[in-house]
């Protein structure tokens, strides 16, 4: 079974999570936790493990919200029924014929047979009867996690290797559904709009900072999950629609970030950041500088900055030395006591 952190995902905080919560638990008090750019959902998962009772997840990607509902949704599910469906589809997919997914992505992002099986299973999920919304999302999320490590890529879908490097056989397995004591609230909204309608104790912010749009980075997964079968273009086979792009990847990012902080109503604000603003690659270079973040947060309250050496994501063409992860912790309207 797959845990929520068993994905390859640019900017994932899985390897930093213990450090992040050590700092949060040392400096912040409260029971509610808002993860307003949730990504993989890993931070929210560990927020629950750290005792936060009310947790909010939000992301612009359609696939992310489906995965959140699969792991954290409140709707009752029949795990034995889902396991049976997965076993049946795993077996039937071995005889799959060419389909939308294999015709577009077979021999490119995935080995041909694996692509046929992935497409067959996704279409079969769409036709399933007697399953509720969360059960459908569990089947889809399980498919995403099962295919993730088979992708012929460096970990995202902006491009694929010219020579097929990953030829492991596809195996459809279920995600690990756990019981949580926390209450989860799930949104798919623009963070700067959502912030005006929520409040709480801790606001955790980990936005995209560079020009790489996640809806384009993970377009294959978005396509599979949404399953509208759009026409695709270019070498990378992306759809034309770019409606859910983030303003944090554009030149206006500092202004948009300042607006988010100004409209926030929380006791503490925690911001994850990395220092790739000095990167030689234009696409890797951050749109918001460390100084801009610090200046914006200082207007809201007293801010501490923590740093940790951490290897950065590398697609194979960007050199960057002395990469560091930074964590800003702001106590809104007050000063920190010495600790």
Structural domains for the chain: 14-332 (3.40.50.150)
* Listed range (4-13, 73-82, 186-195) with the worst mean pLDDT: 4-13
CA distances from 133 to 70, 188, 247, 307 (A): 9, 16, 30, 41
Structure tokens at 123: 């279409």
Nearest Cα residue to 268 out of 195, 330, 335, 205: 330
b (16+ CB within 10 A) / e for 22-53: ebbeebbeeebbbbbbbbbbbbbbbbbeeebe
* Listed range (108-122, 152-166, 167-181) with the worst mean pLDDT: 152-166
Nearest Cα residue to 79 out of 21, 1, 24, 154: 1
- The separation between CA 189 and the C-alpha centre of its own chain, rounded to angstroms, equals 14
- The separation between CA 299 and the C-alpha centre of its own chain, rounded to angstroms, equals 29
Residue with tokens 């046929």: 116
CA distances from 155 to 109, 173, 256 (A): 11, 20, 28
CA distances from 99 to 117, 141, 171 (A): 9, 20, 18
What pLDDT score does 178 carry?
97
| Main-chain phi, psi angles of 113, to 5 degrees | -65, -40
Average of per-residue pLDDT across 129-137: 97
What pLDDT score does 320 carry?
45
Average of per-residue pLDDT across 13-35: 97
Whole-number mean pLDDT of the chain? 90
For residue 254, is pLDDT > 60? yes
- Taking only the tens place, the pLDDT of each residue in 193-233 is 999 999 999 999 998 876 667 777 899 999 999 999 999 99
Question: CA 136, CA 266: separation in Å to the nearest integer?
Answer: 35
pTM: 0.91
Categorize the per-residue pLDDT at 318 as very low, low, confident or very high, splitting at 50, 70 and 90. very low
| Main-chain phi, psi angles of 140, to 5 degrees | -70, -45
Structure tokens at 227: 């399953």
């Amino acid at each position: 079974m797959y845990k929520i952190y068993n994905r390859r995902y640019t900017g994932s905080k899985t390897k930093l999570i213990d450090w992040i919560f050590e700092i949060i638990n040392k400096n912040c008090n409260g029971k509610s936790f808002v993860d307003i750019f949730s990504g993989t959902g890993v931070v929210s998962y560990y927020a629950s493990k750290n005792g936060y009772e009310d947790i909010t997840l939000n992301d612009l990607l359609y696939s992310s919200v489906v995965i959140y509902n699969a792991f954290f949704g409140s709707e009752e599910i029949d795990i034995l029924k889902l396991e049976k469906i997965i076993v049946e589809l795993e077996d039937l997919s071995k005889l799959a014929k060419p389909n939308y997914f294999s015709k577009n992505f077979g021999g490119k992002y995935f080995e041909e047979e694996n692509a046929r099986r992935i497409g067959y299973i996704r279409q079969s999920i769409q036709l399933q009867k007697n399953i509720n919304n969360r059960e459908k999302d569990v089947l889809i999320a399980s498919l995403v996690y099962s295919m993730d490590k088979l992708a012929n890529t460096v970990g995202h879908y902006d491009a694929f290797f010219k020579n097929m490097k990953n030829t492991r056989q596809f195996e459809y397995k279920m995600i690990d559904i756990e019981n949580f004591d926390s209450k989860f609230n799930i949104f798919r909204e623009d963070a700067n709009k959502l912030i005006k309608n929520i409040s709480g104790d801790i606001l955790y912010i980990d936005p995209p900072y560079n020009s790489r749009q996640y809806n384009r980075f993970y377009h294959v997964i978005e396509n599979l999950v949404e399953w509208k079968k759009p026409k695709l273009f270019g070498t990378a086979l992306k759809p034309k629609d770019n409606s859910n792009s983030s303003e944090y990847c554009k030149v206006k990012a500092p202004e948009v970030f300042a607006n988010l902080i100004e409209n926030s109503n929380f006791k503490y604000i925690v911001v994850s950041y990395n220092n790739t603003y000095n990167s030689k690659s234009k696409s890797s270079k951050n749109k918001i500088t460390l100084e801009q973040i610090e200046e914006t947060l200082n207007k809201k309250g007293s801010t501490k900055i923590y740093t940790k050496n951490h290897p950065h994501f590398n697609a194979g063409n960007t050199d960057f030395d002395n990469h560091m992860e930074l964590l800003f912790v702001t106590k809104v309207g007050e000063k920190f006591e010495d600790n």
